[in-house]
Amino acid sequence: MNTSESRDDLILSSFVVGPMHSNCTIVADPESRLGMVVDPGGDAERILREIEGLAVSVEAIILTHVHIDHVIALGEVQQRTAAPCYLHKGDRFLWDRLEAQFSRSGFSFIPGTVPPRWLSDSDRLPCCNGAVLHTPGHTPGSVCLWFEEHKLLISGDTLFHRGIGRTDIAGGSFKHLEKSIVESLFTLDEQTEVITGHGPNTSIGDEIRMNPFFGEVMR
Ligand SMILES: [Zn+2]
Ligand SMILES: [Zn+2]
């Protein structure tokens, strides 16, 4: 999904990057222009051009989880911005195996230049009044980024437009994913816009009503 929304309350740009067509999102405060890059999943030059075009100062790089399709451009973006990257401690085992993930997939590994900082549930994000929702399931350390006052959620690979993240890879758990979505995401304001990890945007209300994986649960 490529969206560059003109809204008064946020600078928001989301665009497709990398070999697995991941959505990379830039969110920033329109007054201070301090912002974050979420999931730099490839195409570093494209991301850096976008940062420059929006005139945003990148304070943080947030990984919704540590699969390489959300991480490929991290090293290059850090080389240019020197911003720290943040990830949930539940994905530490994936972070520690990052180089192996790269070599298995055939992508060249450009290591991060700043040591990671660890996130926990309910942590405040460095800008735009965002908060961390720990939503394990796709991976143990998957997080969604919730901007309550802006009615915006960045869901990573936890919730998709009419879909959910796969749970058949290292550390995945359908039981945890279901609980995360039903007990955490589906309790948010239905008007909340959702930028997903891959594919089109959706809203919490639309997924409560139309996500095929939850018909049974919600009835
Ligand atoms: Zn993933
Ligand atoms: Zn992904």
Q: What is the rounded average pLDDT of the residues 136-147?
A: 98
Q: What's the structural domain count of the chain?
A: 1
| pLDDT given at position 112 | 85
Find where tokens 């697995």 sit: 20
Q: What is the rounded average pLDDT of the residues 56-81?
A: 96
Work out the percent of the chain whose per-residue pLDDT is above 90.
85
| pLDDT given at position 219 | 44
Token digits of residue 179? 């609980």
Domain residues for 79? 3-218
CA distances (Å), origin 143, targets 81, 103, 110, 216:
23, 25, 23, 24
| pLDDT given at position 210 | 94
Q: What is the rounded average pLDDT of the residues 100-107?
A: 88
Q: How far apart are CA 161 and CA 194, in angstroms?
A: 9
Q: What is the rounded average pLDDT of the residues 79-102?
A: 94
Token digits of residue 180? 């995360």
Q: Which of 143, 137, 150 has its CA nearest to residue 123?
A: 143
Predicted confidence (pLDDT) at residue 93 exceeds the cutoff of 70: yes
Q: Which ligand is nearest to the CA of 198?
A: 2
Residue by residue, DSSP assigns 94-139 as HHHTHHHHHHHHTPPP---SS--EEE-TTPBPSSTT-EEEE--SSS
Q: How far apart are CA 132 and CA 123, in angstroms?
A: 5
Q: What is the pLDDT of residues 1-59, one digit of tens each?
A: 566 666 789 999 999 999 999 999 999 999 999 999 999 999 999 999 999 999 999 99
Beta-carbon contacts of residue 52 (< 8 Å; ≥ 6 apart) = none
Q: How far apart are CA 206 and CA 203, in angstroms?
A: 5
Q: From the CA of 52, how far away is ligand 2's center (Å)?
A: 25
- CATH number where 108 lies: 3.60.15.10
| pLDDT given at position 52 | 98
Q: From the CA of 65, how far away is ligand 1's center (Å)?
A: 7
Give the mean pLDDT of the chain. Answer: 94
Q: How far apart are CA 73 and CA 77, in angstroms?
A: 6
Q: Which ligand is nearest to the CA of 39?
A: 2
Pairing assessment for the beta strands 193-196 and 22-28 based on DSSP bridges: unpaired
Q: What is the pLDDT of residues 184-219, one digit of tens each?
A: 999 999 999 999 999 999 999 999 999 999 865 554
Q: From the CA of 32, how far away is ligand 2's center (Å)?
A: 30
| pLDDT given at position 6 | 65
Q: What residue type is assigned to position 11 of the chain?
A: I
- Where is average pLDDT lowest: 94-98, 154-158, 185-189? 94-98
